Amino acid sequence: SQKIEQNSEALNIQEGKTATLTCNYTNYSPAYLQWYRQDPGRGPVFLLLIRENEKEKRKERLKVTFDTTLKQSLFHITASQPADSATYLCAPPPYSGAGSYQLTFGKGTKLSVIP
Amino acid sequence: NAGVTQTPKFRVLKTGQSMTLLCAQDMNHEYMYWYRQDPGMGLRLIHYSVGEGTTAKGEVPDGYNVSRLKKQNFLLGLESAAPSQTSVYFCASTQRANVLTFGAGSRLTVL
């Protein structure tokens, strides 16, 4: 079955370093992947969407890559700050088998940036 | 501000009671989703709707019912609440079934 996995449940890094989060997919080829940020007690907020024909996309200190050979998307935060501490979620397109439009998420990676 | 509004924000129920969570969006989005989020489980899809008058089951639909009588509203009902339904519920909407706008969440406790 189609599967999205975020390898790390938690990641701790030092302030100023680059954080790299991983999203792997198996048994299908998504046309795009999305990344969201969720702060405690709040709903997720959309950050970036990268399509399969885009190798890289950037937004300020954020960078996302999409490697269809490795079946993987990497999410980078450069010059990380304590304010970047949050849970980051990866989401594929809705599964459209048999007219279904389920939109599901990976379990997320909780990033802690240590001052 | 435009967005997704969930009511109520907090609710405590006794086992067996019923209640309805309301999700309202003012962005004219076609698709709406209800998720629950539990520690260590991530977001799990309960039900969703691809347009007014339509609903469909997600990953964990048992014990819940939904209705989408108006395009802007998506209601999630619990007919007979159980302690296993203690969770934080999030509603989300999107126009093209990709980028979601989420509500602030509704925290439900079932005793």
Residue A7 has pLDDT above 90, yes or no: no
Residues in chain B: 111
Choice between A92 and B33, residue whose per-residue pLDDT is larger:
B33
Beta carbons of A22 and A106 less than 8 angstroms apart: no
Phi and psi of A86, rounded to 5°?
A: 180, 180
A103 with B42: Cβ contact below 8 A: no
Read off the pLDDT band of A99 (50, 70, 90).
low
B96 phi, psi to nearest 5 deg: -120, 25
- Summarised one tens digit per residue, pLDDT across range A63-90 is 999 998 888 999 999 999 999 999 999 9
Indicate if the pLDDT at residue B20 is higher than 90. yes
Q: List, for residues A30-70, the tens digit of each pLDDT value.
A: 888 999 999 999 999 999 999 989 989 999 999 999 998 88
Q: Tokens 């093209």 belong to which residue?
A: B96
Least Cα separation, residue A107 to chain B (angstroms): 4
A105 and B37 in contact (C-beta within 8 Å)? no
What's the CA gap between B46 and B62, in Å, rounded? 8
> pLDDT tens-digit profile of B6-19?
999 999 999 999 99
The residues of B whose Cβ lies within 8 A of any Cβ of A are 4, 31, 33, 40-45, 48, 50, 56, 58-59, 90, 92, 94, 97-105
pLDDT digits (tens, 9 = 90+) for B76-104: 999 999 999 999 999 999 987 678 999 99
Please determine, for residue A95, whether its predicted confidence score (pLDDT) is greater than 90: no
Q: What is the pLDDT of residues B39-60, one digit of tens each?
A: 888 899 999 999 999 999 999 9
Are B91 and B45 within 8 A, CB to CB? no
Scan residues 15-74 of A and list those with Cβ closer than 8 Å to B. 32, 34, 36, 41-46, 49
The CA-based angle A108-A113-A75, given to 5 degrees, is 45
Model pLDDT, residue A96: 63
